[in-house]
A and B are shown apart, each in its own frame.
Chain A
Amino acid sequence: MSYFSNISSAITTLVDGMKVTMGYFVRPREHVTLQYPDEVWPIPTRNIGVGEIESYNTIRSKLVVDFEDCIGCKACERACPVDCIDIETFKAGPDEDIGTTKNDTKIKLRVTSFTIDMSECMFCDLCTHPCPEDCIHMTPDYQFISNDNVKLDVTPEERWRDRNHLIYQFSKVSPIERAQRQAEAEKVAAAKAAAMEAKKAAAEKAAATKAAQEAREAEQAQTAAATPEGIGVPIAPSISETPVVQTEPVPVSTPTVESASEPEPMEKIEVPLETISTPEIPEVKPVTTETAAEPETQTEPEDSSKGETENG
C-alpha cells in the first residue's frame, strides 16, 4: 500500500512545489534583480557622530584621508592589521607654522606622504577610530575602476603589489621638497650609521647595508625630483591632495609628472570631502517589497506602477 501512497504523495507534493514557482512566474514584478550600473543599491546613510564629520557614512568601501587635517600621529598606521597605511613625516621647524586642523589642533609634523594601499586594505574600519582628528574615514565609493594614473612601466617586482592601481598617495609637499627632506633624513641616518659604525664594530655590516640602501633611495628620489625641473613644470610647495599611483621605490615617476602638468585627471580622481558627505544616488530602487522605501520619495514611474499593482 505504501507503493500507492508514495506515488500519490509524490504527485501532490510535486504539484505543491510547482504552485510556488508558477506563482512567482505570473508575478514577474516581484523580482529582486538590481540592474547594477543603471540602478544602484540604496546605500544607507546616517550620522554616527564621529567627530564633526556629519553624515559620516558607514558603508565601508574606499579609505580616504582628509589630508589637511592629518597631524601625522600615525595612530592609524599602528592600528592597521595589514599595514596598508604608510605615513612619512618630518618635524617642522620650531618657528614654522604649518597650520591647524579643523579641530584647532596645531600641526607639528609635516606629512610628506600618506600612502593608502587599497589593494591590501581589508575594510575593517579599525584605523578610523583611533584618529584624534577624525580625518581618516571610509567612504561609500565602491567603484575603484579608473582609467587615470595608468602606470605602464611597472617592473615585475611591483606588479603583484600594484594591482589595478589601488595605491593612493596623498602629499602636502612637492616632490622636490620631499626629496630634499628625504636627503636630509638620509644625511642624518648616514651620520647615525657612521656613529654606530664607529661605536659598534659588530653591527658594522648591517649598518652599512642600511646606509647604502637609503643612499640608493635618496638617489632615486633626487632623479624623480630632477625630472620636473628638467621639463620646466613649476611646482610650488603647495597643498595638493592628489592620489597618485605610487609604488615604492619611486623611479622616474611619469604619472606624477603627467598629473602635475594636466590638472583634469587630477580633478576626476580627487576625493574632496564635499562629495563624500553628500553621496548622490542616481536611482534608489527598492529590492523587494520588504525593503521598499516610502512611496512618497519614489517618483520613478516604474515604481509607482508597481505600487498600484500591489494595491490591487
Chain B
Amino acid sequence: MIQLLANWILSFDILSGMGNSVAWGLSLFIVAALIFAFVAVNAIVLVYIERKVSAFMQVRLGPMRVGKFGTLQTVADALKLLQKEDIIPRSADKVLFIIGPWVILVASVVTFAAIPFSDTWLAANMNIGLFYVVSISSIVVLGIVMAGWASNNKWSLYGAMRSAAQIISYEIPVGITLIAVVAVVGSLNLQTIIQEQAGTGNLFHWIPIPLPNWFIFHSPFLFIAAFVYLIGATAEINRTPFDIPESESELVAGFMTEFSGLRWALFFLSEYANATLVAFLVSIVFLGGWQSPFADYQGTQIGFSIITLVAIMWTLFVRAKTGRLSVYPLGLSLVITISAWLFPGFAIWMASPGIFWMLMKAGSIIFMLMWFRWTFPRLRVDQLMYVSWKVILPLSLINLMGVAIWMWLTGEIQF
C-alpha cells in the first residue's frame, strides 16, 4: 500500500519532482497517520458501542443525551479526558510512569501495519505477518509492568504482576493454535492465509453442506481451535472473564489506578485497539478475512433466505417458550434478504470481497467479546492459570496434531 501510495503521489505532475524516496517517506507517514486515526476513531466508536451493548443487555438505555441517542457521548468523554489534570504521584518513578502508557499504545498500534483490511489495503505485506503481529502485541505486557511498577502503588503492582503472568501464559496456547493454521497454509503471510480461504467447499471436507472455504470449517480441530484462540486472545487483551489485572472490584483499577487524564485515555485506546486486533486476527485466520461468505449473487440471496428462515424459526421458538417477542433480529434479516432479492446489485456487492466483510467479521467478534464481558463473572488468578495450562494448552496441542492427521486423511498432504 505504501508503494502504491508513493506511485500515486508521483503520478501528479507537480509532485513528480520529488524523488522516489521522498515520496515513499511521505506515503509512509500518511499510512502511519491513517492507522493511528483508525485506532483512535475505532476506540471512540467501540466505547460507544460497548456502552450501548452493555446497556441493552442490562435493560438500560445507555448514553442518550449527547447527540442523537448519545452518539457523541464518547467524543465528549474523550475531550473531557484530554483536559483533565495530569497527575503524576510524587513517589512514582516519573520516567517509567510517563513512557509506560506510550509503550502500550505503540505496541498495539504498530501491529495494525501487518493487518490486511482488503486485498489492497495493507500497510506492509510481510511474509512473516502473523509472527510479527503475535510478537509485537506481546510487547504490551512490558508497558503494563512499567506502568504498574512506576505507579508505586500496591494495587498497581498487583495488577501488573497478574497481567505479566497472564499474558505470558496465554501466549503459548495462542501461538500453538495459530501454528495449526499455519500448518494448513504453509505460510505466515496474512494475505496468503486469506487467499487460501477463497471459494466454497464442504463442511469439514466431507459433510455435504456448502460453506465458504474458511478455516473454521476446515476440520473439527480448527473449529475448536477458533474458539480456543478466541478464549486465549480474550485473556491476552485482559477482558472479562479474564480481566484480573484491572479487576475493578478487587484491585480498584489494577495497573491503571494512578493514571489520569490523557495517560489513562491511552490505556483505554490501546485496550480497544487490542480488542480490534484480536477480532481482525480471528477473522483473518479463521473466517476468511476480507473474503465474502457468498460465492456469487445467487449465493447471497439463498444464504440470506436461509438466515431469515432460521431467524423466523428462532423467533417463533422463543415466542412459544417464553412468550416474549424479539422483533429486531428478525426484522433486520428480513430487510437484508428482501433487498438482496430485489436489488441484484446489492447482492453482487455482498458477494464481492472487500473491507466491508473484514469489518463485519471483526465487528461480530468484538460483539462476542462484549457479550462475554457483560455476562460472566471473573476468574481468580490461579483458576486463570489452570485454564491456560491445563485446558487451553493441551487442547491447542491436540488441535495441532489433529489438524496434521486430518490433512493426511483428506489427502491435503502426503507423506
Q: Determine whether A and B are in direct contact in the complex, meaning some CB atoms lie less than 8 angstroms apart.
A: yes
User: A interface vs B, CB < 8 Å?
Assistant: 3, 7, 14, 17-18, 20-28, 30-33, 35, 309-310, 312
Provide 5 A-B residue pairs closer than 8 Å at the C-beta atoms, listed in order of the A residue.
A22-B371, A23-B322, A27-B326, A28-B328, A33-B60
Taking a contact as CB atoms under 8 Å apart, the answer to whether B59 and A30 are in contact is yes
Taking a contact as CB atoms under 8 Å apart, the answer to whether B59 and A32 are in contact is yes
Between B59, B319, B329, B372, the greatest number of chain A beta carbons within 10 A of the residue's beta carbon is seen for B59
- Partner of A24 from the list B58, B318, B390, B391 (CB cut-off 8 Å) is B58
Taking a contact as CB atoms under 8 Å apart, the answer to whether B60 and A31 are in contact is yes
Contact of A310 with B371 at beta-carbon distance under 8 Å, contacts A21-B57, A24-B59, A33-B61 already known? no
Interface of chain A, helix or strand or loop or mixed?
Answer: helix
Chain B residues lying within 8 Å of A33, measured Cβ to Cβ, are: 55, 59-61, 64
Whether a CB of chain A sits under 8 angstroms from the CB of B327 is yes
Between A23, A25, A309, A310, the greatest number of chain B beta carbons within 10 A of the residue's beta carbon is seen for A25
Taking a contact as CB atoms under 8 Å apart, the answer to whether B329 and A26 are in contact is yes
Q: Work out how many contacts link A and B, with CB atoms closer than 8 A.
A: 57
Taking a contact as CB atoms under 8 Å apart, the answer to whether B325 and A309 are in contact is yes
Contact of A21 with B329 at beta-carbon distance under 8 Å, contacts A27-B324, A31-B60, A35-B64 already known? no
Taking a contact as CB atoms under 8 Å apart, the answer to whether B60 and A23 are in contact is no
- CB-nearest residue of chain B relative to A18? B375
Sample of 15 further A-B pairs with CB below 8 A, known A18-B372, A27-B328: A14-B375, A21-B374, A23-B326, A25-B53, A25-B56, A25-B57, A27-B325, A27-B326, A28-B56, A31-B55, A31-B61, A33-B60, A33-B61, A33-B64, A309-B327
Contact of A24 with B325 at beta-carbon distance under 8 Å, contacts A7-B391, A17-B376, A18-B371 already known? no
Chain B residues lying within 8 Å of A31, measured Cβ to Cβ, are: 55-56, 59-61
Chain A residues lying within 8 Å of B55, measured Cβ to Cβ, are: 31, 33
Chain A residues lying within 8 Å of B59, measured Cβ to Cβ, are: 24, 30-33
- Considering only residues 329-380 of chain B, those with a C-beta below 8 Å from chain A are 329, 371-372, 374-376
Number of interface residues of B (CB under 8 A): 25
- CB-nearest residue of chain B relative to A6? B391
Chain A residues lying within 8 Å of B64, measured Cβ to Cβ, are: 33, 35
Taking a contact as CB atoms under 8 Å apart, the answer to whether A32 and B325 are in contact is no
Taking a contact as CB atoms under 8 Å apart, the answer to whether A32 and B60 are in contact is yes
B137 smallest CB distance to A (angstroms): 26
Chain A residues lying within 8 Å of B58, measured Cβ to Cβ, are: 24
Between B58, B375, B390, the greatest number of chain A beta carbons within 10 A of the residue's beta carbon is seen for B375
Chain B residues lying within 8 Å of A20, measured Cβ to Cβ, are: 375
Taking a contact as CB atoms under 8 Å apart, the answer to whether A24 and B57 are in contact is yes
Chain B residues lying within 8 Å of A21, measured Cβ to Cβ, are: 57, 371, 374-375
A185 smallest CB distance to B (angstroms): 54
Chain A residues lying within 8 Å of B319, measured Cβ to Cβ, are: 312
A137 smallest CB distance to B (angstroms): 35
B74 smallest CB distance to A (angstroms): 18
Chain A residues lying within 8 Å of B328, measured Cβ to Cβ, are: 26-28
Complex CA gap A24/B371 in Å reads: 11
A286 smallest CB distance to B (angstroms): 13
Chain B residues lying within 8 Å of A35, measured Cβ to Cβ, are: 61, 64
**8 shortest A-B CB distances, which residue pairs?**
A33-B61, A26-B326, A21-B57, A28-B56, A21-B375, A25-B56, A27-B326, A25-B57
Chain A residues lying within 8 Å of B325, measured Cβ to Cβ, are: 27, 309-310, 312
A269 smallest CB distance to B (angstroms): 28
Complex CA gap A22/B57 in Å reads: 7
Complex CA gap A20/B374 in Å reads: 11
- B44-78 CB mask vs A (1 if < 8 Å, else 0) is 00000000010111111100100000000000000
Taking a contact as CB atoms under 8 Å apart, the answer to whether A23 and B324 are in contact is yes
B318 smallest CB distance to A (angstroms): 8
- CB-nearest residue of chain B relative to A311? B325
Complex CA gap A310/B57 in Å reads: 18
Complex CA gap A23/B57 in Å reads: 8
Chain A residues lying within 8 Å of B318, measured Cβ to Cβ, are: 23
Chain A residues lying within 8 Å of B326, measured Cβ to Cβ, are: 23, 26-27
- B169-183 CB mask vs A (1 if < 8 Å, else 0) is 000000000000000
- CB-nearest residue of chain B relative to A7? B391
Chain B residues lying within 8 Å of A309, measured Cβ to Cβ, are: 325, 327
Complex CA gap A18/B372 in Å reads: 7
A37 smallest CB distance to B (angstroms): 10
Complex CA gap A165/B74 in Å reads: 35
Complex CA gap A32/B58 in Å reads: 9
B159 smallest CB distance to A (angstroms): 25
Chain B residues lying within 8 Å of A310, measured Cβ to Cβ, are: 325
Between B57, B61, B64, B329, the greatest number of chain A beta carbons within 10 A of the residue's beta carbon is seen for B57
Complex CA gap A14/B374 in Å reads: 12
Complex CA gap A30/B1 in Å reads: 47
Complex CA gap A30/B56 in Å reads: 9
- CB-nearest residue of chain B relative to A30? B59
B349 smallest CB distance to A (angstroms): 27
Complex CA gap A312/B326 in Å reads: 9
Chain B residues lying within 8 Å of A3, measured Cβ to Cβ, are: 390
Complex CA gap A17/B240 in Å reads: 14
